[in-house]
Amino acid sequence: MKIIGLGKGIPKECVTNDQLSEFLDTNDEWIVSRTGIKTRYVCVGETLTDLSATAATDALNKANLSAKDIDLIICTTICGDYCTPSLACCIAERINARCPAFDINAACTGFIYALELADGFIRVGKYKNILIVSAEKMSAKVDWNDRNTCVLFGDGAAACVVTEGESVKYINLSSSATPNTEVLNMPNGTGNSPFAAEKKQNEYLNMQGQKVFKFVVNIVEAELKLMTERTGITPEQIDRFLLHQANKRIIDYTLARLKQPAEKFPCNIERYGNLSSASVPLLLTEMTETGQVKAGDTLLLCAFGGGLTAGTCVMTIDS
Ligand code: UT7
């Protein structure tokens, strides 16, 4: 499999840390030093379908394809505009695609899970051109009274078109064996069921930050070690490590453990915050647009999050 087009869709409204401190007990110094985040984009009038359709159209244009050339749409999201129709179906309607379309939920790891699925479909010859859209509207999912979480996330979408090719060399997916529901979750409620023993409303995202942080730094190290064992590719042979943009300190910790230079770990967390499953593909899109990822480069993509899940992909960039 190879990527032949990348695109993005970002809301207009950019919110600074200082704006948050106008209604929340927080400050720019805390947010920047603990996370690396300076701003995030949030939807004001845009729907997630709007952002996703923009990203999808951008990716299709870059791939020189139209919607009718797409055989399957896979969306990764925990924030779809509807429970049903899926975000993938909303995008299909908007861009006028007539192919199967569905969403998957692997939280922040979604994009790597989607790559694995797409790779499988393409390998068995079921579909040729697949559109993957990773899109999140976290502003609708966090509690804006909870400074532990709301300062971390943002809204945005990224898309890619994949087709037959040889650039994806390795994908590994994992989910933690131990129960981890309590450290990172977003509970659904009971609706107005007259039969539910205990009535529960839908709740906002809950995260025990330090516990997740520990899981993440360990799983990223384990994922990278496994990748080297299975492929023989060493960290020195990777040109760019595109890690999920959850916290700049996680990225700094990883590059120090691997003894690799900081230039190999590009970041956009300072502008976007944590975009859940859209973080890695948005970073890939921007690195490609700015020429920081170029033909011949070997990339390692690694994402992690709710589940707790993790996933790693190694790919080369074709000319
Ligand atoms: O994308 C899914 C995967 N998610 C992650 O990978 C996130 C992993 N976790 C993290 O990145 C970090 O744990 C956080 C950024 C979430 C938190 O950083 P931390 O260094 O672990 O801080 P903490 O939660 O231990 O909080 C330290 C202090 C607390 O005050 P006390 O108890 O020491 O008095 C918090 O109440 O900082 C306080 N605090 C804040 N202060 C100002 C928490 N949030 C804020 C805030 N502004 N926004």
pLDDT, tens digit (0-9, with 9 covering 90-100), for 99-112: 999 999 999 999 99
Nearest atom of ligand 1 to the alpha carbon of 20: 48
Concerning whether 206 is annotated as a catalytic residue, the answer is no
Which protein residue's CA is at the shortest distance from atom 30 of ligand 1? 148
The residue whose CA is least distant from atom 12 of ligand 1 is 209
pLDDT digit string, tens, across residues 207-226: 999 999 999 999 999 999 99
pLDDT band for position 179 (50/70/90)? low
**N-term to C-term CA, the chain:** 14
CA distance 212 to 180: 9
Measured in angstroms, how far is the CA atom of residue 266 from the centroid of ligand 1? 23
**pLDDT tens-digit readout, 249-303:** 999 999 999 999 999 999 999 999 999 999 999 999 999 999 999 999 999 999 9
The packing angle between helices 279-289 and 110-123, to 10°, is: 80
Per the listing, tokens 């009274």 go with: 145
Check if 305 has its Cβ closer than 6 Å to any atom of ligand 1.
yes
* 191-208 residue pLDDT tens: 999 999 999 988 999 999
- Ligand 1 atom 5 nearest Cα: 246
Model confidence, pTM: 0.97
- Say if ligand 1 is within 6 A of residue 78 CB: no
pLDDT of residue 202: 85
Q: Is the pLDDT reported for residue 177 higher than 90?
A: no
Compute the distance from residue 92 Cα to the ligand 1 centre, in Å: 38
216 lines ligand 1 (CB under 6 A): yes
User: What is the C-alpha separation between 1 and 176, in angstroms, rounded?
Assistant: 27
Per residue in 3-49, pLDDT tens? 999 999 999 999 999 999 999 999 999 999 999 999 999 999 999 99
CA of 150 to the centre of ligand 1 (A): 11
Query: Is the shortest distance between the CB of 209 and ligand 1 below 6 Å?
Result: yes
Nearest CA to ligand 1 atom 11: 247
Torsion angle in degrees (nearest 10) through CA of 36, 306, 79, 134: 70
pLDDT, tens digit, 9 for 90 and up, residues 104-142: 999 999 999 999 999 999 999 999 999 999 999 999 999
The amino acid present at 57, given as its one-letter code, is: T
Q: Is the CB of 208 under 6 A from ligand 1?
A: no
In the residue annotation, 108 being an active-site residue is answered as yes
How many other C-beta atoms lie within 10 A of the C-beta of residue 176?
14
Q: In this structure, how many other beta carbons lie within 10 angstroms of the beta carbon of residue 181? A: 11
Which residue's CA lies nearest to atom 35 of ligand 1? 148
Question: Going by DSSP bridges, is the β-strand pair 309-316/240-243 parallel, antiparallel, or unpaired?
Answer: unpaired
